[in-house]
């Protein structure tokens, strides 16, 4: 009698555990965007800061439901087979080898599912490809192992952006993410992004923007961004590019249009000495190091 009580209790506990797990899973799918930036115990993708990332987020959530429902369906079929066709329940197995209806269904239904996924997927692909009405352009060049940025609409603004070394980090700065010169961009503006590399393939990636694009030497890649909220956004090079691949982070400071105009005036003076000739000599110096 005691034994039964004990197993009843443990059954109740495992039922509760299973319920809690199921609730967590459902919560994770219904409210996937907990994170404005990575942090302990956060679930889902980073909060979207651009319309592009919003669409990527909802596409991701839609796919999660598709995966979830298919997994449940397969699990149910498996359970049915285990119960209905085990040796005891079904001592004389059927010798059936073909069933036209079932074969047509298991070919046609996956095709329908894949087409249903492909349509929004291609739409999203073309949406992220380029913007028709760019208001300004940012040119990004990947180097071993730093990024350089150019603002062709605002004269000769051109600068390198290097990671702040661990020993120079000040309180409040992020280790391995903070840079000496952040990219400053205005919010609410369609920004065309052109991308290339000077040596090997790099990739410019900011998770909150939904932008991840290879910077390929000898090729000019294009994408775009429209940032909704002011703030600082971090990203990293996402293409293995050599020994310091992990040490060429990206920091974007999104500011209001007025602040951006003020920054442009400041930057014109600050980076005036960064003409192409001196930039080339800088690269040569770094290569010698």
Which residue, 184 or 237, has its beta carbon nearer to Cu ion? Answer: 237
Which residue, 28 or 240, has its beta carbon nearer to Cu ion? Answer: 240
Closest CA to 78 of 86, 67, 66, 88: 86
Closest separation between CB of residue 215 and Cu ion, Å? 8
Which residue, 110 or 217, has its beta carbon nearer to Cu ion? Answer: 217
Closest separation between CB of residue 248 and Cu ion, Å? 5
Which residue, 184 or 250, has its beta carbon nearer to Cu ion? Answer: 250
Which residue, 241 or 255, has its beta carbon nearer to Cu ion? Answer: 241
Which residue, 53 or 241, has its beta carbon nearer to Cu ion? Answer: 241
DSSP one-letter code for 1: -
Rounded distance, CA 245 to CA 257, Å? Answer: 33
| Residues paired with residue 195 on neighbouring β-strands, in sequence order | 140, 221
Centroid of chain to Cα 115: 24
Closest separation between CB of residue 161 and Cu ion, Å? 12
Residue pair 208/47 in contact by the 8 Å Cβ criterion: yes
Which residue, 158 or 202, has its beta carbon nearer to Cu ion? Answer: 202
Closest separation between CB of residue 126 and Cu ion, Å? 27
Closest separation between CB of residue 245 and Cu ion, Å? 5
| Residues paired with residue 183 on neighbouring β-strands, in sequence order | 252
Residue written as token pair 């500011």: 255
Number of residues assigned to the chain: 289
Rounded distance, CA 139 to CA 268, Å? Answer: 16
Integer-rounded Cα radius of gyration of the chain: 27
Backbone angles phi, psi at 27, to 5 degrees: -60, -40
Centroid of chain to Cα 96: 48
Which residue, 56 or 237, has its beta carbon nearer to Cu ion? Answer: 237
Rounded distance, CA 212 to CA 89, Å? Answer: 54
| Residues paired with residue 146 on neighbouring β-strands, in sequence order | 143
Closest separation between CB of residue 219 and Cu ion, Å? 15
* Residue 109: CB atoms within 10 Å: 10
Closest separation between CB of residue 282 and Cu ion, Å? 18
DSSP H or E segment with residue 139:
strand 136-143
| Residues paired with residue 22 on neighbouring β-strands, in sequence order | none
DSSP one-letter code for 160: E
> Which residues sit at the interface with Cu ion, rule CB under 5 A?
202, 237, 241
Closest separation between CB of residue 192 and Cu ion, Å? 22
């Amino acid at each position: 009698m005691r034994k039964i009580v004990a197993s009843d209790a443990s059954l109740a506990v495992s039922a509760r555990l299973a319920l809690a797990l199921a609730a967590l899973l459902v919560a994770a799918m219904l409210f996937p965007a907990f994170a404005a930036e990575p942090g302990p115990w956060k679930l889902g993708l980073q909060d979207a800061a651009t319309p592009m990332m919003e669409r990527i987020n909802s596409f991701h959530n839609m796919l999660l439901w598709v995966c979830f429902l298919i997994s449940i369906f397969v699990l149910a079929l498996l359970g049915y087979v285990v119960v209905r066709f085990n040796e005891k329940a079904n001592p004389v197995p059927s010798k059936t080898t073909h069933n036209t209806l079932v074969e047509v269904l298991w070919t046609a239904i996956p095709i329908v599912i894949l087409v249903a996924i492909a349509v929004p997927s291609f739409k999203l692909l073309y949406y992220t490809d380029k913007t028709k009405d760019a208001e300004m352009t940012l040119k990004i060049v990947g180097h071993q192992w730093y990024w350089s940025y150019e603002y062709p609409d605002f004269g000769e603004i051109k600068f390198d952006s290097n990671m702040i070394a661990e020993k120079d980090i000040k309180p409040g700065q992020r280790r391995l993410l903070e840079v000496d010169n952040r990219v400053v961009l205005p919010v609410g503006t369609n920004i065309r992004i052109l991308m290339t590399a000077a040596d090997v393939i790099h990739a410019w990636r900011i998770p909150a923007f939904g932008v991840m694009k290879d910077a390929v030497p000898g090729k000019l890649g294009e994408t775009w961004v429209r940032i909704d909220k002011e703030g600082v956004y971090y990203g990293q090079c996402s293409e293995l590019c050599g020994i310091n691949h992990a040490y060429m982070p990206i920091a974007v400071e999104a500011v209001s249009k007025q602040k951006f105009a003020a920054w442009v005036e400041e930057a014109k003076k600050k980076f005036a000495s960064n003409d192409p000739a001196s930039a080339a000599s800088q690269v040569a110096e770094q290569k010698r190091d």
